[in-house]
């Protein structure tokens, strides 16, 4: 579903903008490998520690963070992203390091049926 995929990408880019200081870098990559579309959004933003990463995609955990201009983030967009990715039989992952930035990767199998 092109609309759901577009929503996923927009949310990841929006988050990168929110958590990257002015003058930082945001990179969006696409590759096709092993019958998977692989979309990666990488930033040079404020990054996250392991405790924050562990809470990112969980609806049962309250997570409030603030962007570089004090924009409030609740993590609900990432929870929706995970749901949309899973509806496409895909996976989403994150790598991050405080002060270095974050990398979100979406893996979507070719020719899958939406659940």
* Model pLDDT for residues 22-33, shown as the tens digit of each residue: 999 999 999 999
Alpha carbon dihedral 3, 13, 98, 31, in 10-degree steps, equals: 70
Taking only the tens place, the pLDDT of each residue in 38-48 is: 999 999 999 99
End-to-end CA distance of the chain: 11
pTM: 0.85
Is the pLDDT assigned to residue 3 strictly greater than 60?
yes
Residue-level pLDDT at 1: 77
Q: What is the mean pLDDT of residues 90-99?
A: 96
**Per DSSP, what are the bridge partners of residue 109?**
36
């Amino acid at each position: 579903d092109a609309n759901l995929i577009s929503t996923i990408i927009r949310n990841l880019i929006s988050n990168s903008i929110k958590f990257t200081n002015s003058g930082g870098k945001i990179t969006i990559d696409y590759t096709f490998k092993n019958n998977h579309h692989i979309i990666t959004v990488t930033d040079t933003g404020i990054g996250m520690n392991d405790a924050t990463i562990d809470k990112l995609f969980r609806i049962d955990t309250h997570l409030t963070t603030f962007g570089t201009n004090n924009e409030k983030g609740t993590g609900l967009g990432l929870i929706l992203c995970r749901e949309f990715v899973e509806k496409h039989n895909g996976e989403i992952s994150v790598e991050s390091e405080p002060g270095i930035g974050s990398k979100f990767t979406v893996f979507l199998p070719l020719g899958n049926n939406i659940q």
